[in-house]
């Protein structure tokens, strides 16, 4: 297969990268490109070379699959292509359309000039995969724009728009559209006589003297997380940039390559690459066949509470007009204010103009007339968590919404099939479980009922994409994937507290592992009453959880919203969101422990972490076996995107593989929990969750 096309234009060789869909610079493409660059160099009829991309894009970078491929002596990488460009005496111009990311930008940086279309974004996002730019990016970008700016760009992995990139000096010229791109590149190529690349020393940044180098490096090290807390790649990246201004170019490049190899084999990078691939697997749903999704042009939301309002904003931001119905005038007024406040905030932040905000605000229409939903393509219910109330809503909707319209529930815990049963369109019924705040949280659980049709499911997945959510499929089981797991996690935390460990210490261990907050702060945030209601509704699931929850509800300590829950809150401390340890609650746990004959004991931080995370893993194994979740990777995505599991540990199931499933199983037994049969069988074979094949576990 050929990935490269060439054409000569008046002494300029135009080399087109053509590896659909995004011209990734795979080993195979590089293998083809190296001799083409070398041939151009030797050809006296060629004065200059222009690189350009087919498929409407320059290049999105390396092929992520290649990072895990062991190169052979014959393997050529983008580094070899760049080395050939460096050796050459011709003039090189990169003609960039849309994106030059990662290796794509690194190839461009090795050229003498870069011209791009106005809609171009450039960036070196390798850090997001736990890597660093390994094809000269850490050495060339600082030379081009100064070390400080380059560090900022690479450490955040952020993309820079064409206009900003030109101002920074990354791009030499920006053209309006792709039509004029090649001509502009050819002009530059023809009008340049000598190579422009120089090996000057790295400047630190505008107005920064060379003496400041150690300061910039030490500041950068301080700004990023610790090596064992998600910052492993960041520190190596800073080391590479330090080499750029301390060492001659060739040595710097060699240092960069060595650091890159080290990262490519590091556990955090494997975990982050797993997350990258797991995200891409999500939409592969068995039984979906070639079901064609319906187009969603108009939506409805029932309930203008916390969730309904967030969901409405999400639709508006995706350009879908939405009608919101609530029976309570106060709730509607509050929702209106939330919507207004949200869009005004975006204007203040410079993310949209007043006019755009006004337009978006207009696309959310509050009403109490259900008839306005007659032509809605999808209606999402977000009323109180009560089966009776929900059934009434769906019965009414079924009589009004057009027959092909999809009905969805945002319920956290209730049975989707039971709700569907009151409608005459069970095939067009689905769960769409958003997370709070719905307009910000990226996760969406799509719940397949027993009669949900392939087309409804396909529409739900397409809608998820339109709403810019990461959608994961779950079956109609209590708590779906995420909440089912979090119950066990909270239970494990409560049990630890009853053994005399303070909630503050337990939360600290979770945070040190990389969670943004610990289990008790999370309980306070979501509301102690919410957990209490669920426990009442499902005593089977709640079995073994601490009775302290009942005491807190009796004391009206419902969490952050009442400024007291497991912790205290004070307006003067972290705007009332910072947990403050409360000895009264520690005493409460001690009381409960005494009642149940639980003696306090010494527990190490390691064990605290194991009890929290292994509870998630054990439940995850049950969910896989029961077919609630399709793949271990789906669970990992739910937990990373919905509950803040540290991505550099790859999600709970990946983490189980990392520490050893056998070890997890042994501990689960030691803690006296019922191990999931799947956990046991994998442990007995000394296997991994990653080795499970998709579909192998689905209970048909």
Binding to ligand NAD (CB under 6 A) within 68-97 occurs at none
Does 106 qualify as catalytic in the annotation? Answer: yes
Tokens representing 121? Answer: 């974004």
Distance CA 43, CA 13 (A): 10
Return the residue of 225, 305, 321, 514 that touches ligand NAD, per CB under 6 A: 305
Return the residue of 12, 331, 504, 534 that touches ligand NAD, per CB under 6 A: 331
Return the residue of 32, 172, 326, 398 that touches ligand NAD, per CB under 6 A: 326
Nearer to ligand NAD, 110 or 416 (CB): 416
Question: Does 560 engage in binding with ligand NAD (CB under 6 A)?
Answer: no
Task: Give the number of other CB atoms < 10 A from CB of residue 589.
Answer: 26
**Rg of the chain, C-alpha, whole Å:** 28
Question: Does 439 engage in binding with ligand NAD (CB under 6 A)?
Answer: no
Nearer to ligand NAD, 68 or 327 (CB): 327
Distance CA 617, CA 620 (A): 5
How many Å from the N-terminal Cα to the C-terminal Cα in the chain? 40
Return the residue of 43, 246, 385, 427 that touches ligand NAD, per CB under 6 A: 385
Return the residue of 148, 412, 439, 610 that touches ligand NAD, per CB under 6 A: 412
CA 187 to chain centre: 41
Does 74 qualify as catalytic in the annotation? Answer: no
Distance CA 520, CA 518 (A): 6
Nearer to ligand NAD, 40 or 304 (CB): 304
**Considering only 111-119, 120-128, 276-284, 380-388, which stretch makes contact with ligand NAD by CB under 6 A?**
380-388
Question: Does 638 engage in binding with ligand NAD (CB under 6 A)?
Answer: no
Q: Which of 27, 75, 88 is CA-nearest to residue 51? A: 88
Instruction: Give every CB contact of residue 258 below 8 A, 6+ residues apart in sequence.
Output: none
Q: Which of 7, 86, 126, 333 is catalytic?
A: 126
Minimum gap (Å) between residue 408 Cβ and ligand NAD: 11
Minimum gap (Å) between residue 79 Cβ and ligand NAD: 47
Question: Does 384 engage in binding with ligand NAD (CB under 6 A)?
Answer: yes
Nearer to ligand NAD, 162 or 339 (CB): 339
Tokens representing 673? Answer: 């929990």
Question: Does 423 engage in binding with ligand NAD (CB under 6 A)?
Answer: no
Minimum gap (Å) between residue 441 Cβ and ligand NAD: 9
Nearer to ligand NAD, 24 or 309 (CB): 309
Nearer to ligand NAD, 75 or 367 (CB): 367
8 A C-beta contact, residue 582 and residue 520:
no
Binding to ligand NAD (CB under 6 A) within 502-531 occurs at 526
8 A C-beta contact, residue 84 and residue 37:
yes
**Considering only 130-138, 259-267, 321-329, 504-512, which stretch makes contact with ligand NAD by CB under 6 A?**
321-329
Write the CA distances from 309 to 340, 389, 403, 592, integer angstroms: 11, 19, 26, 39
Task: Give the number of other CB atoms < 10 A from CB of residue 295.
Answer: 10
Nearer to ligand NAD, 56 or 527 (CB): 527
Tokens representing 603? Answer: 């527990």
Question: Does 329 engage in binding with ligand NAD (CB under 6 A)?
Answer: no
Distance CA 53, CA 71 (A): 25
Task: Give the number of other CB atoms < 10 A from CB of residue 442.
Answer: 14
Give Dmax (Cα) for the chain: 91
**Considering only 287-295, 302-310, 450-458, 570-578, which stretch makes contact with ligand NAD by CB under 6 A?**
302-310
Tokens representing 32? Answer: 């083809």
Return the residue of 104, 303, 431, 503 that touches ligand NAD, per CB under 6 A: 303
Q: Which of 483, 493, 494, 491 is CA-nearest to residue 620? A: 483
8 A C-beta contact, residue 136 and residue 106:
yes
Question: Does 418 engage in binding with ligand NAD (CB under 6 A)?
Answer: no
Q: Residue numbers of the site for ligand NAD (CB under 6 A)? A: 302-308, 325-328, 331, 382-385, 389, 393, 410-412, 434-436, 526
Residues marked active site are found at 106, 126
């Amino acid at each position: 297969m050929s990935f490269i096309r060439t054409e000569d234009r008046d002494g300029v060789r135009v080399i087109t990268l053509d590896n659909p869909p995004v011209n990734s610079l795979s080993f195979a493409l590089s293998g083809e490109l190296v001799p083409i660059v070398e041939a151009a160099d030797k050809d006296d009829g060629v004065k200059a070379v222009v690189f350009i991309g087919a498929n409407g894009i320059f290049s999105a970078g390396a092929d992520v699959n290649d990072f895990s491929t062991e190169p052979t002596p014959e393997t050529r990488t983008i580094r070899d292509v760049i080395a050939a460009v460096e050796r050459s005496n011709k003039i090189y111009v990169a003609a960039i359309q849309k994106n030059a990311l990662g290796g794509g930008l690194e190839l461009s940086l090795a050229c003498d000039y870069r011209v791009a279309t106005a809609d171009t974004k450039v960036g070196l996002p390798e850090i997001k995969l736990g890597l660093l730019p390994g094809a000269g990016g850490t050495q060339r970008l600082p030379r081009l724009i100064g070390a400080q700016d380059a560090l900022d760009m690479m450490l955040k992995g952020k993309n820079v728009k064409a206009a900003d990139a030109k101002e920074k000096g990354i791009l030499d010229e920006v053209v309006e559209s792709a039509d004029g791109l090649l001509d502009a590149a050819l002009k530059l190529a023809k009008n340049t006589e000598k190579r422009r690349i120089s090996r000057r020393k790295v400047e630190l940044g505008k107005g920064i003297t060379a003496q400041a180098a150690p300061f910039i490096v030490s500041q950068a090290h301080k700004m990023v997380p610790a090596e064992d807390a998600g910052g492993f790649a960041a520190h190596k990246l800073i080391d590479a940039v330090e080499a750029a201004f301390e060492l001659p170019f060739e040595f710097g490049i060699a240092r960069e390559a060595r650091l890159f190899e080290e990262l490519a084999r590091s556990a955090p990078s494997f975990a982050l690459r797993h997350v990258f691939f797991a995200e891409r697997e999500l939409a592969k749903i068995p039984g979906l066949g070639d079901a064609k999704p319906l187009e969603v042009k108009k939506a409805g939301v029932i309930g203008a509470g916390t969730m309904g309002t967030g969901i409405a904003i999400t639709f508006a931001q995706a350009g879908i007009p939405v009608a919101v119905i609530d029976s309570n005038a106060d709730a509607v007024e509050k929702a209106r204010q939330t919507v207004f406040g949200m869009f005004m905030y975006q204007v203040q932040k410079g993310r949209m103009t007043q006019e755009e905000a006004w337009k978006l605000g207009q696309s959310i229409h509050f009403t109490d007339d259900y008839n306005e939903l007659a032509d809605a393509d999808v209606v999402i219910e977000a009323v109180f968590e009560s089966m009776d109330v929900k059934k009434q809503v769906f019965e009414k909707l079924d009589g009004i919404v057009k027959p092909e319209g999809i009905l969805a529930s945002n319920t956290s815990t209730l049975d989707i099939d039971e709700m569907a049963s009151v409608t005459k369109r069970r095939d067009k019924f689905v769960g769409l479980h958003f997370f709070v705040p719905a307009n910000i949280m990226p996760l969406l659980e799509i719940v397949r009922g027993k009669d949900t049709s392939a087309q409804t499911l396909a529409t739900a997945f397409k809608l998820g994409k339109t709403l810019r959510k990461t959608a994961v499929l779950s079956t109609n089981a209590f708590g779906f994937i995420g909440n089912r797991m979090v119950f066990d996690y909270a239970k494990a935390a409560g049990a630890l507290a009853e053994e005399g460990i303070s909630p503050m210490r337990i939360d600290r261990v979770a945070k040190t592992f990389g969670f943004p907050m610990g289990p008790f702060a999370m309980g306070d945030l979501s509301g102690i009453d919410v957990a209490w209601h669920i426990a009442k509704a499902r005593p089977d699931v709640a079995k073994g959880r601490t009775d302290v929850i009942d005491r807190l509800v009796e004391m009206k300590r419902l969490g952050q919203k009442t400024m007291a829950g497991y912790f205290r809150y004070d307006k003067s401390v972290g705007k009332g969101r910072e947990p403050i340890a409360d000895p009264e609650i520690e005493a409460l746990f001690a009381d409960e422990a005494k009642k149940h004959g639980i003696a306090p004991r010494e527990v190490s931080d390691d064990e605290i972490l194991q009890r929290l995370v292994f509870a998630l893993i054990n439940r995850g194994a049950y969910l896989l076996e029961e077919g609630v979740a399709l793949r271990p990777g789906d669970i990992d995505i739910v937990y990373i995107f919905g509950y803040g599991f540290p991505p550099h540990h790859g999600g709970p199931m990946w983490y189980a593989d990392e520490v050893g499933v056998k070890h997890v199983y042994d501990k689960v037994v030691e803690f006296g929990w019922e191990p999931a049969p799947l956990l046991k069988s994998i442990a007995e074979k000394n296997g991994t969750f990653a080795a499970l094949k998709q579909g192998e576990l689905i209970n048909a």
